[in-house]
């Protein structure tokens, strides 16, 4: 198989898996279905990780409840445009054989993003208003 054909097949599989996962999340509520495991970090420490609330937020988003999704994991909601762009690029690669334009992200921005995630992680575990609003 040629390289481009393999890339298109991989992109198709990735987009199909993402769509299937969103469909599964639409049907099975992470808050009540018992299908999903508890966050291991939360189970071990009693503290929220940066990803805590992501599945519940995505479930709320698939049902059109934007405010509920924002309340469950603000960081994930802020990252959705980037995730959406990635999946749109993969869909374009699968359909047209070429992805959307890629953007180079330098190391400074990556370190800033890591710092932002770490600060978010710490702040969402402070049980005092307004930081408690960041907890899922």
pTM above 0.85, yes or no: yes
Q: How distant, in Å, are the alpha carbons of 78, 99, 116 from that of 82?
A: 8, 14, 16
DSSP annotation of 50: T
Tens-level pLDDT at each residue, the chain (136 residues): 688 899 999 999 999 999 999 999 999 999 999 999 999 999 999 999 999 999 999 999 999 999 999 999 999 999 999 999 999 999 999 999 999 999 899 999 999 999 999 999 999 999 999 999 999 9
What are the domain boundaries of the chain?
Answer: 3-104
């Amino acid at each position: 198989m040629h390289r481009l054909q393999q890339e298109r097949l991989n992109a198709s599989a990735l987009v199909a898996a993402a769509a299937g996962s969103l469909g599964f999340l639409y049907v099975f509520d992470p808050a009540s279905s018992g299908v999903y495991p508890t966050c291991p970090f939360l189970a071990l420490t009693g503290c929220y990780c940066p990803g805590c609330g992501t599945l519940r937020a995505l479930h709320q988003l698939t049902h059109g409840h934007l405010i509920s999704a924002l309340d469950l994991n603000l960081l994930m909601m802020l990252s959705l445009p980037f995730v959406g762009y990635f999946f749109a690029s993969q869909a374009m690669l699968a359909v047209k054989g070429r992805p959307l334009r890629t953007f180079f992200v330098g190391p400074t921005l990556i370190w800033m993003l890591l710092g932002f995630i770490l600060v978010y992680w710490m702040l969402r575990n402070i049980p005092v208003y307004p930081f408690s609003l960041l907890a899922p």
